[in-house]
């Protein structure tokens, strides 16, 4: 799989940039200047070929259009020709006008292009919003809104009459998700959280429709149905989609309550469905779905209670350090949007592909689903984030049933009862092989509940004796920050010899007033490693928190005592280059002449087969730190 990294809260592949200041034109393969409107154009060119099936040979960019005897000052951005020639006045079929994301103009220009050519369809697209038009010549030039342009070889009457065997994998979904969001936001007046939840419902409806046995899609909308909705009609369409949502509630009762309903206006619902109906989400590669979904999550689920979403480079570091296996039981007790859980699924997926090249993508998907159902658990206090994690896992081959919403710091009996009620299995103290988490931290949200504090040793005041030892007092703290309580709870989740990674603010590891916390950790577990993160790691969350990742291993008491006597070694590292700048832009390594360094690597293609690609090298020291850590583990002969 191509290496991913966050960029402006998006996950992008390193294939997308190979020459500084330029990008490859999807049609001509020439270098073109990397401008915002060019990025929009390249995204749509790819859709035309990979999603709509149009032949590259019939697509041109920067096409001069004649209006009467004179050429228009600005050429058309994209023209799809009918395959019989390249004269816009005789052979144009579709004209596309693209704009950068903050532009709203250009529709009048698009109309003039179409009126001066044989084009039957037109598209206006700025990367965030989209409009489709059909042009009629008789009795006069008239443009009507349509739900989508037809695929290659189809007519406008075929749009929305798809059979499931006709659906195609999406080449990319990020711009599609963004377009849908902006349409809902502009036409419904919802706050961002409600926009997010309504979009989740529609995605679930799409996935369920693909799983139903009938050959024809029910998740669809035709040109006629769209016209009916605009007139306040379309009862058949509305009933069809509501019936599908009823099936969603039945199949995913752990995600949606029985009283939930669709809150979008029929016209809005029709638009959303028009954007997704031609795709098969089931067969769309997991990385494409993950890229779109995680971008969407970062944009709409910002942490406001001290939860900072973990960037992809840190997810990679943690998972490569912990090296989870197919038989390991794993939990994230503050799972947020599911980054650690889904990244683990992808890590296991890649290991399966390497170990079993005979398995096809369907076999791998089934194996991943079985693995996640049996071994992965996630808890989050925010029910919306727990739902997001479930959705994210479903998009990555499912296995979502071990995720539920609860406060991970409540008493064990209540926590286990919540898990059973959510049908997420049994949660027992000391039952997990691996734990990875980025808990909420910060002084704004101290835990003051006596009922919670009294469960934890670290909920009490500790005092240091003259001999340097710390003793727990009988008096509770007035309040304790959640990250410190999470340390203790996470250790209790671990089985004997279990290992964990926890992201903590540096104050937990350095402040003199918190020495008792460090002493508690030292007496409970073996400290394997401490990796310091750059100050800008969580800049995408609007937080200037300096943090580190602490790696720990639980050991039998006697073994741990013997180890302490030997004064064991701890691996330490400081990440200086995380691969992106404070604005989220990817940084690449350069030689002494300023040229981007490239490297040939093996990646998995969408069919699950390995292929070699030459990719630019991201300017990060994380791969070297991972390599040095595994050398350390081997040198210390650790059972890790």
| End position of a domain, from candidates 126, 159, 192 | 159
Nearest to 401 by CA among 390, 409, 392: 390
Domain count, the chain: 3
> From CA 349, how far away is CA 366, in angstroms rounded?
11
What DSSP string runs through 559-597? HHHHHHHTT---EEEE---BSB-TT--B-B-B-TTSPBP
Greater confidence, 12 or 341?
A: 341
Residue 355, domain member (yes or no): yes
Please say which residue of 159, 182, 217 terminates a domain. Answer: 159
- Decide if 272 is inside a domain: yes
Residue 252: other Cβ atoms inside 10 A = 18
pLDDT in tens, 477-516: 999 999 999 999 999 999 999 999 999 999 999 999 999 9
pLDDT reported for residue 11 = 35
Q: Is residue 584 part of a domain?
A: no
What's CA 126's distance to the chain center, in Å? 22
pLDDT tens per residue, range 545-562: 789 999 999 999 999 999
3-state secondary structure of 206: helix
- Indicate if 194 and 258 belong to the same structural domain: yes
- Residue 12 is predicted with a pLDDT of 36
Q: What is the CATH number of the domain that holds 539?
A: 3.40.50.150
- Buried-state track 162-184, b at ≥16 Cβ within 10 A, e below 16: bebeebbbbbbbbbbbbbbbbbb
For 281, residues 6+ apart whose C-beta sits below 8 A from its C-beta are: 170, 203, 206, 207, 210, 289, 395
For residues 71-94, give the mean pLDDT: 92
**pLDDT of 49 higher than 70:** yes
**Average confidence (pLDDT) over 146-168:** 95
CATH number at residue 48: 3.90.1570
User: For residues 101 and 129, what is the distance between their CA atoms, to the nearest angstrom?
Assistant: 8
The whole-angstrom separation of Cα 277 and Cα 164 is: 10
Please give the pLDDT value at position 603.
60
Residue 424 and residue 382 share a domain: yes
For the purposes of burial, counting CB atoms within 10 Å of the CB of 213, is it exposed (0-12), middle (13-18) or buried (19 or more)?
exposed
Residues 327, 419 share a domain: yes
Within this chain, do residues 229 and 129 fall inside the same structural domain, yes or no? no
Four-residue CA torsion sign, 280, 353, 601, 633? positive
Residues 144 and 265 in one domain: no
Domain boundary pick from 127, 159, 191: 159
Q: Is 574 in the same domain as 480?
A: yes
The H or E element spanning position 227 is helix 223-230
For residue 605, pLDDT beyond 70: no
pLDDT band at 400 (very low <50, low <70, confident <90, very high): confident
Any domain includes 602: no
Q: Judge contact between 590 and 18, C-beta under 8 A.
A: no
pLDDT at res. 20: 72
pLDDT at 181 over 80: yes
- The secondary structure element, H or E, covering residue 128 is none
Comparing 293-307, 369-383, 469-483, the range with the smallest average pLDDT is: 293-307
Residue 419: strand, helix, or coil: helix
Same domain, 416 and 462: yes
| Contact indicator for 279, 170 with CB cutoff of 8 Å | yes
Looking at the domain assignment, is residue 600 inside a domain? no
Q: Let me know if residue 610 belongs to a domain.
A: no
Gap between the Cα atoms of 53 and 131, Å rounded: 19
Answer whether 206's CB lies under 8 Å from 219's CB: yes
- Residue 44 lies in domain: 35-159
Statement to judge: residues 211 and 316 lie in one domain:
no
Same-domain check for residues 430 and 541:
yes
Task: Say yes or no: 203 and 101 in one domain.
Answer: no
**What's the pTM?**
0.79
| C-beta atoms surrounding 609 within 10 Å | 12
Residue 214 pLDDT? 93
Given a cut of 60, is residue 13 above it in pLDDT?
Answer: no
- 7 found inside a domain: no
Write down the mean pLDDT value for the chain. 87
My answer on whether 56 and 112 are in the same domain is yes
Q: Given pLDDT bands bounded at 50, 70 and 90, which one contains residue 304?
A: very low
The 3 state secondary structure assigned to 315-372 is: HHHHHHHHCCCCCCCEEECCCCCCHHHHHHHHHHHHHHHHHCCCCCHHHHHHHHHHHH
Whether 305 and 271 share a structural domain: no
Q: Is the pLDDT of residue 458 over 80?
A: yes
**If pLDDT is split at 50, 70 and 90, which confidence band does 247 have?**
very high
Q: Is 55 domain-assigned?
A: yes
């Amino acid at each position: 799989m191509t290496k991913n990294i966050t960029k402006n809260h998006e996950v992008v592949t390193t294939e997308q940039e190979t020459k500084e200041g330029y990008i490859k034109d999807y049609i001509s393969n020439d270098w073109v200047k990397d401008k915002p409107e060019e990025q929009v154009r390249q995204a749509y060119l790819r859709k035309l070929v990979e999603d709509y099936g149009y032949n590259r040979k019939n697509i041109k960019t920067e096409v001069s259009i004649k209006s009467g005897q004179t050429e228009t000052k600005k050429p058309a951005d994209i023209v799809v020709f009918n395959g019989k020639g390249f004269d816009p006045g005789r052979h144009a079929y579709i004209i596309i006008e693209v704009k950068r994301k903050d532009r709203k103009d250009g529709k009048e220009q698009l109309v003039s292009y179409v009126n001066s050519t044989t084009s039957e369809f037109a598209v206006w697209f700025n990367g965030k919003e989209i409009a489709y038009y059909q042009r009629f010549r008789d009795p006069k030039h008239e443009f009507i809104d349509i739900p989508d342009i037809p695929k290659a070889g189809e007519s406008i009457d075929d749009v929305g009459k798809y059979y499931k065997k006709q659906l195609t994998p999406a080449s990319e979904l990020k711009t599609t998700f963004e377009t849908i969001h902006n349409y809902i936001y502009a036409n419904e007046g919802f706050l961002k959280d409600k926009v997010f939840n309504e979009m989740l419902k529609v995605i679930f409806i799409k996935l369920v429709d693909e799983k139903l046995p009938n050959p024809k899609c029910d998740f669809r909308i035709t040109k006629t149905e769209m016209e009916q909705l605009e007139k306040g009609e379309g009862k058949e369409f509305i009933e069809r989609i509501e019936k599908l949502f009823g099936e969603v509630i039945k199949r995913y009762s752990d995600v949606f309550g029985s009283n939930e309903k669709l809150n979008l206006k029929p016209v809005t619902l029709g638009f959303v469905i028009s954007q997704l109906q031609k795709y098969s989400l089931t067969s769309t590669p997991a990385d494409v779905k993950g890229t779109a979904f995680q971008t969407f999550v970062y944009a709409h689920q910002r942490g406001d209670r001290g939860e900072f979403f973990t960037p992809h480079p840190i997810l990679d570091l943690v998972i490569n350090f912990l090296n989870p296996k197919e038989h390991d039981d794993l939990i994230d007790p503050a799972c947020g949007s599911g980054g650690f859980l889904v990244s683990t699924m992808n890590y296991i997926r890649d290991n399966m592909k390497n170990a079993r090249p005979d398995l096809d993508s369907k076999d791998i998907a089934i194996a991943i689903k079985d693995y996640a159902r049996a071994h992965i658990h996630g808890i989050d206090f925010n029910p919306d984030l727990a739902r997001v994690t479930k959705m994210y896992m479903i998009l990555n081959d499912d296995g979502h049933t071990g995720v539920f919403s609860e406060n991970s710091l409540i008493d064990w009996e209540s926590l286990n009862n919540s898990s059973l009620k959510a049908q997420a299995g049994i949660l027992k103290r000391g039952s997990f092989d691996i734990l990875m988490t980025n808990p909420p931290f910060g002084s704004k949200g101290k835990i003051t509940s006596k009922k919670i504090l009294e469960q934890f040793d670290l909920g009490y005041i500790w005092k240091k004796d003259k001999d340097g030892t710390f003793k727990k007092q009988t008096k509770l703290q007035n309040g304790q920050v959640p990250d410190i309580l999470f340390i203790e709870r996470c250790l209790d989740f671990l089985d004997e010899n279990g290992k964990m990674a926890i992201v903590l603010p540096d104050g937990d590891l350095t402040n003199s007033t918190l020495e008792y916390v460090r002493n508690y950790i030292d007496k409970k577990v073996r400290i394997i490693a401490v990796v310091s993160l750059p100050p800008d790691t969580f800049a995408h969350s609007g937080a200037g928190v300096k943090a580190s990742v602490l790696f720990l291993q639980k050991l039998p008491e006697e073994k741990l005592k013997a180890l302490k006597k030997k004064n064991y070694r701890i691996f330490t590292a400081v990440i200086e280059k995380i691969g992106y700048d404070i604005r989220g832009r990817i940084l690449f390594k350069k030689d002494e002449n300023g040229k981007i360094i490239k490297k040939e690597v093996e990646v998995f293609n969408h069919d699950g087969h390995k292929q070699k690609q030459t990719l630019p090298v991201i300017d990060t020291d994380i791969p070297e730190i991972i390599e040095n850590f595994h050398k350390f583990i081997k040198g210390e002969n650790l059972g890790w």
